[in-house]
A and B are shown apart, each in its own frame.
Chain A
Protein backbone atom coordinates (compact mmCIF):
# COMPACT_ATOMS: atom_id res chain seq x y z
CA UNK A 1 0.00 0.00 0.00
CA UNK A 2 1.33 3.42 -0.90
CA UNK A 3 1.57 5.88 1.97
CA UNK A 4 -0.61 8.97 2.14
CA UNK A 5 0.78 12.17 0.73
CA UNK A 6 2.79 13.74 3.54
CA UNK A 7 1.97 17.44 3.34
CA UNK A 8 2.70 19.91 6.09
CA UNK A 9 -0.97 19.87 7.06
CA UNK A 10 -1.02 16.07 7.14
CA UNK A 11 1.95 16.14 9.49
CA UNK A 12 0.12 18.58 11.74
CA UNK A 13 -2.81 16.19 11.99
CA UNK A 14 -0.51 13.25 12.64
CA UNK A 15 1.42 15.10 15.32
CA UNK A 16 -1.81 16.03 17.02
CA UNK A 17 -3.16 12.49 16.97
CA UNK A 18 0.16 11.08 18.14
CA UNK A 19 -0.02 13.12 21.32
CA UNK A 20 -2.60 10.59 22.50
CA UNK A 21 -2.56 7.69 20.05
CA UNK A 22 -5.48 5.88 21.67
CA UNK A 23 -7.73 8.91 21.79
CA UNK A 24 -10.74 9.30 19.54
CA UNK A 25 -11.19 12.62 17.78
CA UNK A 26 -14.01 14.04 15.75
CA UNK A 27 -13.34 16.39 12.89
CA UNK A 28 -14.22 19.61 14.66
CA UNK A 29 -11.82 18.81 17.49
CA UNK A 30 -9.03 18.38 14.97
CA UNK A 31 -9.99 21.64 13.30
CA UNK A 32 -9.84 23.50 16.60
CA UNK A 33 -6.67 21.81 17.81
CA UNK A 34 -4.68 22.30 14.61
CA UNK A 35 -6.18 25.61 13.49
CA UNK A 36 -6.60 24.19 10.00
CA UNK A 37 -9.82 24.92 8.10
CA UNK A 38 -12.52 22.31 7.67
CA UNK A 39 -11.78 22.16 3.98
CA UNK A 40 -8.28 20.96 4.71
CA UNK A 41 -8.93 18.58 7.58
CA UNK A 42 -11.56 16.34 6.04
CA UNK A 43 -9.60 15.38 2.90
CA UNK A 44 -6.65 14.54 5.13
CA UNK A 45 -8.81 12.42 7.40
CA UNK A 46 -10.29 10.62 4.38
CA UNK A 47 -6.86 9.94 2.97
CA UNK A 48 -5.44 8.67 6.24
CA UNK A 49 -8.45 6.48 6.81
CA UNK A 50 -8.37 5.01 3.35
CA UNK A 51 -4.70 4.15 3.77
CA UNK A 52 -5.42 2.36 7.01
CA UNK A 53 -3.68 4.86 9.28
CA UNK A 54 -6.94 5.96 10.92
CA UNK A 55 -10.11 4.06 11.65
CA UNK A 56 -13.50 5.57 12.34
CA UNK A 57 -16.84 4.78 13.90
CA UNK A 58 -20.17 6.50 14.37
CA UNK A 59 -20.96 7.56 17.88
CA UNK A 60 -23.24 5.29 19.91
CA UNK A 61 -26.88 6.39 19.61
CA UNK A 62 -27.27 6.52 23.39
CA UNK A 63 -24.65 9.27 23.65
CA UNK A 64 -25.86 11.68 21.00
CA UNK A 65 -29.55 11.09 21.61
CA UNK A 66 -29.11 11.88 25.28
CA UNK A 67 -27.40 15.14 24.37
CA UNK A 68 -29.92 16.03 21.68
CA UNK A 69 -27.59 16.38 18.73
CA UNK A 70 -26.67 14.50 15.55
CA UNK A 71 -24.15 11.72 15.87
CA UNK A 72 -20.46 12.37 15.47
CA UNK A 73 -17.93 10.34 13.61
CA UNK A 74 -14.88 9.50 15.69
CA UNK A 75 -11.42 8.81 14.35
CA UNK A 76 -8.38 7.25 15.93
CA UNK A 77 -5.15 5.64 14.89
CA UNK A 78 -5.09 2.00 13.94
CA UNK A 79 -2.29 0.16 15.80
CA UNK A 80 -0.21 0.12 12.60
CA UNK A 81 -1.18 3.67 11.77
CA UNK A 82 0.32 5.10 14.92
CA UNK A 83 3.59 3.34 14.20
CA UNK A 84 3.61 4.45 10.54
CA UNK A 85 2.92 8.00 11.63
CA UNK A 86 5.82 7.96 14.09
CA UNK A 87 8.11 6.70 11.37
CA UNK A 88 6.87 9.24 8.87
CA UNK A 89 7.41 12.09 11.28
CA UNK A 90 10.71 10.82 12.62
CA UNK A 91 12.92 12.44 9.96
CA UNK A 92 11.25 15.76 10.62
CA UNK A 93 11.81 15.47 14.35
CA UNK A 94 15.36 14.16 14.12
CA UNK A 95 17.13 15.48 11.04
CA UNK A 96 19.29 12.82 9.45
CA UNK A 97 17.55 9.93 11.15
CA UNK A 98 17.00 7.00 8.86
CA UNK A 99 13.65 5.32 8.40
CA UNK A 100 13.99 1.51 8.56
CA UNK A 101 13.73 0.11 5.06
CA UNK A 102 11.16 -2.52 6.00
CA UNK A 103 8.84 0.15 7.35
CA UNK A 104 9.55 2.94 4.91
CA UNK A 105 6.83 3.85 2.44
CA UNK A 106 7.58 2.74 -1.09
CA UNK A 107 7.03 6.12 -2.62
CA UNK A 108 6.32 9.66 -1.52
CA UNK A 109 9.13 10.13 0.94
CA UNK A 110 7.98 11.22 4.39
CA UNK A 111 8.74 14.84 4.80
CA UNK A 112 8.12 15.65 1.17
CA UNK A 113 5.73 18.50 0.80
CA UNK A 114 2.94 18.16 -1.74
Chain B
Protein backbone atom coordinates (compact mmCIF):
# COMPACT_ATOMS: atom_id res chain seq x y z
CA UNK B 1 0.00 0.00 0.00
CA UNK B 2 1.32 3.36 -0.96
CA UNK B 3 1.58 5.77 1.95
CA UNK B 4 2.06 9.49 2.10
CA UNK B 5 5.13 10.88 3.85
CA UNK B 6 2.98 12.88 6.22
CA UNK B 7 -0.72 12.21 5.84
CA UNK B 8 -1.73 14.23 8.89
CA UNK B 9 -2.73 17.23 6.80
CA UNK B 10 -4.98 15.22 4.49
CA UNK B 11 -8.59 16.40 4.76
CA UNK B 12 -10.98 13.72 6.01
CA UNK B 13 -13.01 14.21 2.84
CA UNK B 14 -10.38 12.16 1.07
CA UNK B 15 -10.94 9.16 3.29
CA UNK B 16 -14.23 8.34 1.55
CA UNK B 17 -15.87 7.85 4.94
CA UNK B 18 -19.50 6.95 5.37
CA UNK B 19 -21.82 9.89 5.72
CA UNK B 20 -22.40 8.98 9.36
CA UNK B 21 -18.73 9.15 10.27
CA UNK B 22 -18.08 12.17 8.12
CA UNK B 23 -20.84 14.23 9.67
CA UNK B 24 -19.96 13.06 13.18
CA UNK B 25 -16.32 14.06 12.76
CA UNK B 26 -17.02 17.36 11.08
CA UNK B 27 -19.56 18.17 13.74
CA UNK B 28 -16.84 17.69 16.32
CA UNK B 29 -14.34 19.89 14.58
CA UNK B 30 -12.24 17.12 13.06
CA UNK B 31 -11.13 18.21 9.62
CA UNK B 32 -7.84 16.45 8.94
CA UNK B 33 -6.42 12.97 9.28
CA UNK B 34 -3.95 14.29 11.85
CA UNK B 35 -6.76 15.60 14.05
CA UNK B 36 -8.59 12.31 13.65
CA UNK B 37 -5.58 10.18 14.51
CA UNK B 38 -4.94 12.25 17.64
CA UNK B 39 -8.32 11.38 19.12
CA UNK B 40 -8.55 8.48 21.56
CA UNK B 41 -10.77 5.57 20.61
CA UNK B 42 -13.34 6.06 23.42
CA UNK B 43 -13.96 9.62 22.30
CA UNK B 44 -14.43 8.52 18.72
CA UNK B 45 -16.82 5.78 19.78
CA UNK B 46 -18.84 8.38 21.64
CA UNK B 47 -19.02 10.48 18.48
CA UNK B 48 -20.24 7.56 16.42
CA UNK B 49 -23.61 7.18 18.15
CA UNK B 50 -24.55 4.20 15.98
CA UNK B 51 -23.56 0.56 15.57
CA UNK B 52 -22.87 1.32 11.92
CA UNK B 53 -20.22 3.84 12.75
CA UNK B 54 -17.70 1.26 13.82
CA UNK B 55 -14.06 1.85 14.59
CA UNK B 56 -13.17 -0.74 11.97
CA UNK B 57 -13.97 1.68 9.21
CA UNK B 58 -11.73 4.38 10.67
CA UNK B 59 -8.91 1.91 11.33
CA UNK B 60 -9.13 0.69 7.77
CA UNK B 61 -9.24 4.09 6.11
CA UNK B 62 -6.62 5.72 8.29
CA UNK B 63 -4.49 2.58 8.10
CA UNK B 64 -4.38 2.90 4.32
CA UNK B 65 -2.49 6.14 4.82
CA UNK B 66 0.12 4.35 6.90
CA UNK B 67 -1.17 5.39 10.31
CA UNK B 68 -2.29 3.07 13.09
CA UNK B 69 -3.34 5.31 15.96
CA UNK B 70 -5.74 2.81 17.49
CA UNK B 71 -5.16 -0.84 18.30
CA UNK B 72 -6.49 -2.74 15.33
CA UNK B 73 -7.91 -6.19 16.07
CA UNK B 74 -8.10 -7.58 12.56
CA UNK B 75 -7.14 -5.51 9.54
CA UNK B 76 -9.24 -7.55 7.10
CA UNK B 77 -12.36 -7.54 9.23
CA UNK B 78 -13.61 -4.31 7.80
CA UNK B 79 -12.67 -4.93 4.19
CA UNK B 80 -15.61 -3.44 2.36
CA UNK B 81 -17.43 -5.27 -0.35
CA UNK B 82 -16.36 -3.98 -3.73
CA UNK B 83 -12.98 -2.85 -2.52
CA UNK B 84 -10.28 -5.23 -3.57
CA UNK B 85 -6.89 -5.47 -1.97
CA UNK B 86 -5.11 -2.20 -2.18
CA UNK B 87 -8.19 -0.19 -3.04
CA UNK B 88 -8.90 2.90 -1.06
CA UNK B 89 -9.44 6.59 -1.05
CA UNK B 90 -7.58 8.53 -3.70
CA UNK B 91 -4.51 10.44 -2.61
CA UNK B 92 -4.48 14.18 -2.16
CA UNK B 93 -3.07 14.87 -5.58
CA UNK B 94 -5.57 12.59 -7.32
CA UNK B 95 -8.50 14.08 -5.46
CA UNK B 96 -7.31 17.53 -6.37
CA UNK B 97 -6.94 16.51 -10.01
CA UNK B 98 -10.45 15.09 -10.01
CA UNK B 99 -11.95 18.26 -8.58
CA UNK B 100 -9.88 20.34 -10.97
CA UNK B 101 -11.09 18.29 -13.92
CA UNK B 102 -14.66 18.94 -12.89
CA UNK B 103 -14.15 22.60 -12.15
CA UNK B 104 -12.26 23.32 -15.34
CA UNK B 105 -14.32 21.34 -17.76
CA UNK B 106 -17.90 20.90 -16.63
CA UNK B 107 -20.77 23.36 -16.55
CA UNK B 108 -21.36 24.59 -13.00
CA UNK B 109 -24.80 23.02 -12.74
CA UNK B 110 -23.54 19.56 -13.62
CA UNK B 111 -20.19 19.64 -11.83
CA UNK B 112 -21.18 18.32 -8.40
CA UNK B 113 -23.02 15.31 -9.78
CA UNK B 114 -20.19 14.12 -12.01
CA UNK B 115 -17.39 14.79 -9.56
CA UNK B 116 -19.29 12.86 -6.88
CA UNK B 117 -19.88 9.99 -9.29
CA UNK B 118 -16.23 9.88 -10.36
CA UNK B 119 -15.01 10.10 -6.79
CA UNK B 120 -17.16 7.14 -5.81
CA UNK B 121 -15.77 5.07 -8.64
CA UNK B 122 -12.22 6.17 -7.94
CA UNK B 123 -12.52 4.62 -4.49
CA UNK B 124 -13.27 1.25 -6.10
CA UNK B 125 -10.13 1.15 -8.21
CA UNK B 126 -7.50 -1.20 -6.89
CA UNK B 127 -4.36 0.85 -7.14
CA UNK B 128 -3.12 4.40 -7.27
CA UNK B 129 -1.98 3.66 -10.81
CA UNK B 130 -5.48 2.68 -11.88
CA UNK B 131 -6.86 5.76 -10.14
CA UNK B 132 -4.34 7.97 -11.91
CA UNK B 133 -5.20 6.38 -15.25
CA UNK B 134 -8.89 6.98 -14.62
CA UNK B 135 -8.33 10.68 -13.90
CA UNK B 136 -5.91 11.10 -16.78
CA UNK B 137 -8.48 9.68 -19.14
CA UNK B 138 -11.04 12.17 -17.85
CA UNK B 139 -8.62 15.08 -18.03
CA UNK B 140 -7.21 14.31 -21.44
CA UNK B 141 -10.42 13.69 -23.31
CA UNK B 142 -13.40 12.66 -21.26
CA UNK B 143 -14.06 15.81 -19.31
CA UNK B 144 -13.84 17.95 -22.41
CA UNK B 145 -16.11 15.62 -24.38
CA UNK B 146 -18.53 15.47 -21.50
CA UNK B 147 -18.50 19.24 -21.16
CA UNK B 148 -19.30 19.63 -24.85
CA UNK B 149 -22.04 17.03 -24.59
CA UNK B 150 -23.62 18.61 -21.54
CA UNK B 151 -23.47 22.09 -23.01
CA UNK B 152 -25.09 20.89 -26.22
CA UNK B 153 -27.85 19.24 -24.24
CA UNK B 154 -28.59 22.20 -22.01
CA UNK B 155 -32.12 23.64 -22.14
CA UNK B 156 -32.06 26.48 -24.61
CA UNK B 157 -29.40 24.94 -26.80
CA UNK B 158 -30.48 24.33 -30.37
CA UNK B 159 -30.18 20.58 -30.14
CA UNK B 160 -31.99 20.10 -26.88
CA UNK B 161 -32.54 16.45 -26.31
CA UNK B 162 -33.51 16.23 -22.66
CA UNK B 163 -36.69 14.51 -21.75
Chain A residues close to B by CB (< 8 Å): 1-2, 4, 26-28, 37-43, 46-47, 50-52, 61, 64-73
In the complex, the answer to whether A37 meets B137 with C-beta atoms within 8 Å is yes
The answer to whether the Cβ of B143 comes within 8 Å of any Cβ in the partner chain is yes
Chain B residues close to A by CB (< 8 Å): 16-20, 52, 57, 60-61, 78, 80-83, 113-114, 116-121, 123-125, 133-134, 137-143, 145-146, 148-150, 153, 159, 161-163
Q: Is the interface of A mostly helix, strand, loop or mixed?
A: helix
Residues of A within 8 A of B137 (CB): 37-40
Task: Give the distance in Å from the alpha carbon of A52 to the alpha carbon of B160 in the complex.
Answer: 12
Task: Give the distance in Å from the alpha carbon of A10 to the alpha carbon of B139 in the complex.
Answer: 20
Residues of B within 8 A of A28 (CB): 121, 124-125
Contacts A69-B16, A70-B123, A72-B120; A47 near B138 (Cβ below 8 A): no
Chain A nearest CB, measured from B46 CB (Å): 20
Contacts A42-B114, A67-B82; A47 near B153 (Cβ below 8 A): yes
Name the CB-closest residue of B to A65: B18
Task: Give the distance in Å from the alpha carbon of A71 to the alpha carbon of B119 in the complex.
Answer: 9
From the candidates A39, A50, A61, A72, name the one contacting B161 in the complex (CB within 8 A): A50
Task: Give the distance in Å from the alpha carbon of A104 to the alpha carbon of B117 in the complex.
Answer: 33
In the complex, the answer to whether A40 meets B142 with C-beta atoms within 8 Å is yes
Task: Give the distance in Å from the alpha carbon of A73 to the alpha carbon of B149 in the complex.
Answer: 19
Chain B nearest CB, measured from A58 CB (Å): 9
